[in-house]
């Protein structure tokens, strides 16, 4: 097979890039290791930056997001039995976020790819990248027992943290930065009404909790748990009871609980690999970076990578200008690191750390006190949460 851009990974990053390039007449083939049902079965992010929403529209798949996604102009931080509203729109000239699940984003992208006869090959195995430092790279893989090969101009590694693309970059070229937090998030999805019209990030002596949502009848909740816990340690009853203890009374008294339809534990970590380009291989999304979810940056940073890469590829193919591709890694990483800082700050401020000294604990408390008492600090939080400019 032959294409202009071979995209490894059919998650949101790979599909969004494929769809955007197609609209501009640039040919792609997407290779995905799993089935479509498996990809759509993963419950992940739920908050989209304005910039992401605009990219979905540009990719001609924003209609359902615009009809069903909810615009949120603020969220709450709860502590000491009280809710404090963080206004997003006032300090950011009317900016906001869209609450619309990653599952739905991915579903919309798959449907758009189908409509345009985009090629997405599923169930591919043993993907290998070759000749990445030449102008004629190629990708080999197996599908349905057959050995196949794609010749292309560029390879995009959008195959997530455990993918093959980043591992194809020689060790002496790549620098990795990592921070592992000493806890995880236990997440529950339930067919229940959201706890509040806007998200609640709760800091309590018992640990962090988050009340989020996918729609007015589908809610997503998280609680901070030790890394040694497993899903089997948490019955639905135990989960709801612990969640309630971490929320203000006014929220827990009216919280509607129900059977969990998904329950999983995700460790919290920050990770960045530099550079995001090796020859004609470009990394994007989780293939290059992971965020602790507290700042809702993971999926949004994947989208900002795609924005820069899309512009670079369009300039290359339509104007013969390689400036965007040359500066891709630098520009993407500059924004990624700012998002890492924000996620680290939100995570540090809102969680309980098992090894804190009394001094550390007081500093965390005063960090939150300062935020809640300073309009300038809240404005800085809002500016980061809605997404820094591309």
Query: Which residues contribute to the site for ligand PHB (CB under 6 A)?
Result: 45-47, 212, 220, 293-294, 296
Binding mask 83-112 for ligand RFL (x = CB under 6 A): -------------------x----------
Binding mask 148-177 for ligand RFL (x = CB under 6 A): ----------xxxx-xx-------------
Kindly give the pairing relationship between strand 146-151 and strand 138-143: antiparallel
Nearest distance from C-beta of residue 126 to ligand RFL, angstroms: 8
Residue number, 148 or 363, with CB nearest to ligand RFL: 148
Nearest distance from C-beta of residue 199 to ligand PHB, angstroms: 6
Residue number, 52 or 240, with CB nearest to ligand RFL: 52
Nearest distance from C-beta of residue 240 to ligand RFL, angstroms: 20
d(CA 222, CA 245) in angstroms, rounded, equals: 13
Residue number, 8 or 47, with CB nearest to ligand PHB: 47
Residue number, 283 or 350, with CB nearest to ligand PHB: 350
Residue 12 interacts with ligand RFL (CB under 6 A): yes or no: yes
Nearest distance from C-beta of residue 321 to ligand RFL, angstroms: 26
Residue 213 interacts with ligand RFL (CB under 6 A): yes or no: no
d(CA 325, CA 125) in angstroms, rounded, equals: 29
Given ligand RFL, ligand PHB, none, residue 333, with its beta carbon under 5 to 8 Å by kind, binds none
User: Using the rule CB under 6 A, which residue among 3, 5, 7, 11 binds ligand RFL?
Assistant: 11
Given ligand PHB, ligand RFL, none, residue 294, with its beta carbon under 5 to 8 Å by kind, binds ligand PHB
Residue number, 3 or 294, with CB nearest to ligand PHB: 294
Nearest distance from C-beta of residue 366 to ligand RFL, angstroms: 27
Nearest distance from C-beta of residue 376 to ligand RFL, angstroms: 26
Nearest distance from C-beta of residue 162 to ligand RFL, angstroms: 6
Exposed, middle or buried: residue 23 (CB in 10 Å: 0-12, 13-18, 19+)?
middle
Nearest distance from C-beta of residue 30 to ligand RFL, angstroms: 9
Residue number, 226 or 323, with CB nearest to ligand RFL: 226
Residue 285 interacts with ligand RFL (CB under 6 A): yes or no: yes
Residue number, 274 or 319, with CB nearest to ligand RFL: 274
User: Using the rule CB under 6 A, which residue among 7, 8, 59, 86 binds ligand RFL?
Assistant: 8
Nearest distance from C-beta of residue 106 to ligand PHB, angstroms: 14
Residue number, 32 or 108, with CB nearest to ligand RFL: 32
d(CA 323, CA 360) in angstroms, rounded, equals: 46
Residue number, 169 or 336, with CB nearest to ligand PHB: 336
> What HEC string does the chain produce?
CECCEEEECCCHHHHHHHHHHHHCCCCEEEECCCCHHHHHCCCCCCEEEHHHHHHHHHCCCCHHHHHHCEEECEEEEEECCEEEEEECCHHHCCCCEEECCHHHHHHHHHHHHHHCCCEEECCCEEEEEECCCCCCCEEEEEECCEEEEEECCEEEECCCCCCCCHHHCCCCCCEEEEEEEEEEEEEEEECCCCCCCCCEEECCCCCCEEEEEEECCEEEEEEEECCCCCHHHCCHHHHHHHHHHHCCHHHHCCCCCCCEEEEEEEEEEEEEEECCEECCEEECHHHCEECCHHHCCHHHHHHHHHHHHHHHHHHHHHHCCCHHHHCHHHHHHHHHHHHHHHHHHHHHHHCCCCCCCHHHHHHHHHHHHHHHHCHHHHHHHHHHHCCCCC
Nearest distance from C-beta of residue 293 to ligand PHB, angstroms: 4
Q: Would residue 207 be called left, alpha or beta, if left means φ above 0 and alpha means ψ between -120 and 50 degrees?
A: left
Torsion, CA 185, CA 189, CA 192, CA 193, rounded to 10: 60
Point out which residues bind ligand RFL (CB under 6 A).
Answer: 8-14, 31-34, 39, 44-45, 102, 124, 127, 158-161, 163-164, 266, 285-286, 293, 296-299, 302
């Amino acid at each position: 097979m032959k294409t202009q851009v071979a995209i490894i990974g059919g998650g949101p990053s790979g599909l969004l890039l494929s769809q955007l390039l197609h609209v501009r007449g640039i040919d792609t083939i997407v290779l995905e290791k799993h089935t479509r049902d498996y990809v759509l079965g993963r419950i992940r992010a739920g908050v989209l930056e304005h910039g992401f929403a605009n990219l979905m529209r540009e990719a001609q798949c924003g209609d359902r997001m615009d009809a069903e996604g909810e615009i949120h102009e603020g969220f709450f931080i709860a502590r000491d039995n009280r809710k404090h509203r963080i206004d997003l729109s006032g300090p950011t000239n009317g900016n906001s976020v869209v609450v619309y699940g990653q599952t739905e984003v991915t579903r919309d992208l798959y449907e758009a790819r189908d409509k345009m006869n985009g090629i997405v090959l599923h169930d591919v195995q043993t993907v290998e990248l070759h000749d990445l430092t030449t102008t004629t790279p190629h990708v080999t893989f197996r599908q349905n027992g057959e050995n196949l090969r794609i010749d292309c101009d560029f390879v995009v590694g959008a195959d997530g943290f455990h993918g093959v693309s980043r591992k194809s970059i020689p060790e002496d070229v790549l620098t990795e930065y990592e921070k592992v937090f000493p806890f995880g998030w236990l997440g529950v999805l339930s067919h229940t009404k959201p706890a509040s019209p806007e998200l609640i990030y709760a800091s309590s002596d018992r640990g962090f909790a988050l009340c989020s949502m996918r729609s007015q009848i589908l809610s997503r909740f998280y609680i901070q748990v030790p890394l040694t816990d497993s899903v089997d340690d948490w019955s639905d009853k135990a989960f709801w009871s612990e969640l309630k203890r971490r929320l203000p009374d006014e929220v827990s008294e009216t919280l509607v609980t129900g059977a969990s339809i998904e329950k999983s534990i995700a460790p919290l970590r920050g990770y960045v690999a530099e550079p995001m380009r090796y020859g004609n291989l470009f990394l994007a999304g989780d293939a290059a970076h992971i965020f602790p979810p507290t700042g809702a940056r993971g999926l949004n940073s994947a989208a900002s990578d795609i924005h820069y890469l899309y512009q670079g590829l369009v300039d290359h193919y339509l104007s013969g200008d390689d400036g965007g591709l040359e500066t891709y890694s630098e520009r993407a990483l500059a924004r990624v690191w700012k998002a890492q800082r924000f996620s680290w700050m939100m995570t540090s401020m809102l969680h309980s750390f098992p090894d804190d000294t009394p001094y550390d604990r007081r500093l965390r408390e005063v960090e939150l006190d300062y935020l809640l008492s300073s309009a300038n600090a809240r404005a800085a939080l809002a500016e980061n949460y809605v997404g820094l400019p591309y």
